[in-house]
Amino acid sequence: MENTENTPKKVMLSGIQPSGDLHLGNYLGAIKNWAERAEQYDCFYFMADMHTITVRQNPADLRRRTVEQLAQYIACGLDPERNTLFIQSHVHQHAELGWILNCYTMFGELSRMTQFKDKAARHQENVNGGLFTYPCLMAADILLYQPDYVPVGEDQKQHVELTRNIVQRFNGIYGEVFKMPEPFIPKAGARVMGLSAPDTKMSKSVPEGCVFLMEPEEDIRRKFKRAVTDSDTERCVHYDPERKPGVSNLMTIYSAVTGRSYDEIEKEFEGQGYGVFKPAVGEAVIETLRPIREETRRLLKDKAYLESVYRAGAEKASYVAEKTLRKVYKKIGFVQR
Active site residue 301: no
pLDDT at 3 (0 to 100): 39
**Domain positions in the chain:** 10-190+302-332, 207-298
User: Across the chain, where does the E strand assignment appear?
Assistant: 10-16, 41-47, 83-87, 149-151, 182-184
Please tell me whether residue 14 adopts helix, strand or coil conformation: strand
Residue 112 one-letter amino acid: R
Read off the pTM.
0.86
61, amino acid identity = D
* In contact, 21 and 50? CB cutoff 8 Å: no
Answer yes or no: are the C-beta atoms of 273 and 236 closer than 8 Å. Answer: yes
Residues whose CB falls within 8 Å of the CB of residue 161, separated by 6 or more in sequence, listed in order: 183
The pLDDT score that the predictor gives to residue 153 is 65
Calculate the CA 144 to chain-centre distance: 18
Show the low-confidence residues of the chain (pLDDT under 70).
1-6, 153-155, 186-190, 232-234
* Nearest to 249, CA basis, from 317, 197, 287: 197
Helix, strand, or coil here: 85?
strand
CB-based burial of residue 331 (10 Å sphere; 0-12 exposed, 13-18 middle, 19+ buried)?
A: middle
pLDDT at 137: 96
Buried/exposed code over 164-200 (b: 16+ C-beta within 10 A; e: otherwise): bebbeebeeebeebbbebebbebeebbbbbbbbbbee
Q: Active-site residue 201, yes or no?
A: yes
Q: Please pick, among 32, 119, 223, 278, the residue that the annotation labels catalytic.
A: 119
How far is residue 173's CA from residue 282's CA, in Å, rounded to a whole number?
A: 54
Q: Report d(CA 5, CA 329) in Å as an integer.
A: 34
pLDDT for residue 1: 36
Are both 10-190+302-332 and 207-298 of the same fold?
no
Q: Which of 9, 10, 179, 201 is catalytic?
A: 201
Q: Give 27's DSSP letter.
A: I
CATH of domain 10-190+302-332: 3.40.50.620
Q: At the top level of CATH, which class does the domain 207-298 belong to?
A: mainly alpha
Angle made by CA atoms 43, 73, 202, in degrees to the nearest 5: 105
Amino acid sitting at position 81: E
Helix (H) or strand (E) holding 274: helix 274-300
Catalytic pick from 10, 204, 316, 327? 204
